[in-house]
Chain A
Amino acid sequence: MTAIGWIQIFLFCAIIVALTKPFGWYMTRVFNGERTFLSHLLRPVEAAIYWISGVDEKREQHWVTYTVAMLLFHVGGFLILYAVMRLQAVLPLNPAGQPAVPEDLSFNTAISFITNTNWQNYGGESTMSYLVQMLGLTHQNFLSAATGIALAVALIRGFSRASVRTVGNFWVDVTRTTLYVLLPICIVAALFLVWQGIPQTLGPYVDATTLEGARQTIAVGPVASQVAVKMLGTNGGGFFNANAAHPFENPTALSNFVQMLLIFTIGAALTNVFGRMVGNQRQGWAILAVMGILFLAGVTVTYWAEAHGTAMLDAMGLTGGNMEGKEVRFGIVASSLFAVVTTAASCGAVNAMHDSFTALGGMIPLINMQLGEIIVGGVGAGLYGMLLFVVLAIFVAGLMVGRTPEYVGKKIEAREVKMAMLAILVLPLMYLGWTAVAVVLPSTVAAMNNAGPHGFTEVLYAFTSATGNNGSAFAGLSANTFFYNLTLASAMFVGRFFMIVPAMAIAGSLAGKKSIPPSAGTFPTTGGLFVGLVVGVILIIGGLTFFPALALGPIVEHLADNANTLF
């Protein structure tokens, strides 16, 4: 670990914190339907969308209607995406002549992108046409992100409103998020990334003759427009197989830094939106503090482990850390930081191969996802996931002192706690359950790229990533098989919707409750004690759930590595 490395990490955190308040202010105005500096440009477009679609923007929805609208939107998105993949051979903008994507892979990919997972059982440049990348994948990057944000806003309204039956209008929330938040930032970011070297062209793959006279076919495409939204919307689905490690998706140290900022910025700012909407910004800062503590702990472990390297490299006299599966322009620190950011945030883009990380360095991304990606988290999903843990922490605090727990003026009662537990428990059922099934099947063992405990970790990582809607991988696993395509799709589906529906039920139930003023017996939720309590609840619940699985994978591997035992 070096001083320059820590300066990069510190600058990253400082910029995110500095952006949180102004961006939170802007997004709050957007979600409240107030005018912004972009309104004179975008309001006519917005109004036209409502007029054509028959949306009455003044009419709000009950939480059930809001949820049904969200689900219908996903069904439509799934059908479009599945259709363009199956039909890509006969559709335009296919200069590389890609054939139709097979049925099971199309199914897996469509589920993957509508759930904001962007797990990729395919290599982009060798499978997808430009039309699929744009019309199928780029558009779902926007819409799945907008959906996540809309749901978080609906849950926030549940906390901030009192004695009402509605939580907002899904169509209005999705449209405004797309037009006022995602699109303007993506336009600026895409141009910045092209300047840094990311291609943006509809021209065919380029044939070059290398200096030694060999032929090299260089895949290009409309990359920058997709990369911008894949980061901002914490989607993470790469244009190319190597994702953000590919020099055309992430050409410089600066493009890398900006992409990490894009991943975290909305998630962090949503904590401020929460604070503003419930009438006390310190409530938002307390939540961001919980996230920040867990984030820095993860960064420290991964950075240390990667810089420290492995016993195998030591034995051969190689110094400079674990560079297998990393790019020279990023080095150890930017690769470690990116790995923690992308898994904390449910993004899943990678600028280094997690499969080749050291045992402990690769365990942190796994833990980040298993905690439910609440450390900043996916856009929207991170906040509503974190609020579920807050509900639990408040409940635990209430048990300790024997009072009905309250949070931001709302009584937390049996219904909320049950829903929060349902959402939190269904996730390990998916990733532990499917891993258990997978490792006893002979075909699955054949799909592993590594032997020993690392092979087990590859499988555990795959189902964890799918359930958490992350999309990063220990990519050695050959997961483009019938079994994995279907089981991973089911994990992505359950991980997304069995989290969303209970969260929306909580939103509906809270919105209907009276708001009660804080009294002398109210547990303050803006101070250090609260922050410590939430961190504790997260680590205890998480630790009890998945520590045994970690012990079989990365922890055993770490001990083997220390003894320089190879498999």
Chain B
Amino acid sequence: MLREIRPAILVLLLLTAITGVAYPLAMTEVAGAIFPRQAEGSLIERDGKVVGSALIGQEFKDDKYFHGRPSATTSPDPADAGKTVPAPYNAANSGASNLGPTSKALADRIKGDVDKLKAENPSSAVPVDLVTTSASGLDPDISPEGALFQVPRVAKARGMPEDKLRRLVAENTSGRLIGIFGEPRVNVLELNLALDAATSK
């Protein structure tokens, strides 16, 4: 048995060096050379400033922007480090509501959001993704129905014709990969960037 101690130490150290140091560092070098944009986090710049990542949702509250899904992320309470406060789209602390199917708290939250959205656009059915929080709290996407639902509000706030907005939504909708994988979706940040660009034209 004693002769297993030397390999226990040395095999462990050597494999640690290979898998824990050499492998991640080599991947960082290679990935940075081949796919520099993705390796840095798919950042989007406008006028030389980083405005976010194409993959990470951000909070939109203004009527003139399309809004993302509700987000359940939190940050530490500045008044009491043991507690947390809501901080939607906190990209340094991803997380979900973790409320279950028979949760009263969840029912109350969804009801409140549904009522708000119905007041905003009484003519359409409320899409489910606009009133449910995502798993990461950073979902960059909404469903195409979720975007179209918001067109009347954005049109009013911007004084833009609804047709033009619907066209923008259609242009920014991604379909399923080869018609099979994933779900149709609209990247909210990219849609809003396109919206700003169309307005300033």
Contacts and interface: CB of A to CB of B under 8 A. Distances in A.
B6 A241 contact: no
Question: Which one of A139, A171, A226 has the greatest number of beta carbons of chain B within 10 Å?
Answer: A139
A210 B136 contact: no
Contacts of B58: 208, 210-212, 214, 216
A205 B7 CA distance: 39
Interface string B102-134: 111011001100100000000001111101111
A313 interface: yes
B30 interface: yes
A247 interface: yes
Interface string A176-218: 0011001100110011001111111111011111111010111
Contact of A454 (B15, B100, B129, B176): B100
B94 A65 contact: no
A324 B99 contact: yes
B189 A211 contact: yes
A247 B24 contact: no
B102 A139 contact: no
A356 B101 contact: yes
Contact of B28 (A202, A254, A457): A202
B168 interface: no
Nearest to A194: B31
Question: Which one of B106, B131, B140 has the greatest number of beta carbons of chain A within 10 Å?
Answer: B106
Interface string B38-61: 111111000001111111111111
Given A76-B8, A224-B31, A566-B103, A320 B140 contact: no
Contacts of B60: 211-212
Interface residues of A, number: 131
Question: Which one of A194, A211, A253, A355 has the greatest number of beta carbons of chain B within 10 Å?
Answer: A211
A468 interface: no
Interface string B76-109: 0000000000000111111111111111101100
B24 A325 contact: no
Contacts of B139: 247, 327-329
Interface in A338-394: 350-353, 355-359, 362
B19 A219 contact: no
Question: Which one of A226, A329, A357, A474 has the greatest number of beta carbons of chain B within 10 Å?
Answer: A329
Interface of B: 1, 3-12, 14-16, 18-21, 23-25, 27-28, 30-32, 34-35, 38-43, 49-62, 65, 69, 89-104, 106-107, 110-111, 114, 125-129, 131-143, 146, 176-177, 179-183, 185, 189, 192-193, 196
Interface of A: 4, 7-8, 11, 45, 49, 52-55, 65, 68-69, 72-73, 75-77, 80, 123, 125-126, 134-136, 138-139, 141-143, 146, 171, 174-175, 178-179, 182-183, 186-187, 190-191, 194-203, 205-212, 214, 216-220, 222, 224-226, 229, 240-242, 245-248, 251-254, 256-257, 310, 312-313, 316-331, 334-335, 350-353, 355-359, 362, 449-454, 457, 474-476, 557, 560-561, 565-567
Given A139-B16, A199-B41, A212-B59, 17 more contacts: A52-B14, A123-B93, A142-B19, A178-B18, A200-B39, A208-B43, A210-B51, A225-B27, A245-B96, A246-B136, A247-B136, A316-B110, A320-B143, A324-B132, A328-B183, A560-B102, A566-B107
24 contacts: A4-B180, A53-B6, A135-B21, A139-B16, A178-B19, A183-B23, A191-B31, A197-B54, A199-B40, A210-B59, A211-B65, A212-B60, A219-B92, A225-B23, A229-B19, A324-B106, A324-B110, A355-B96, A356-B99, A356-B106, A450-B100, A474-B98, A476-B98, A557-B100
A-B complex: 3 closest residue pairs judged by Cβ atoms: A253-B182, A139-B20, A476-B98
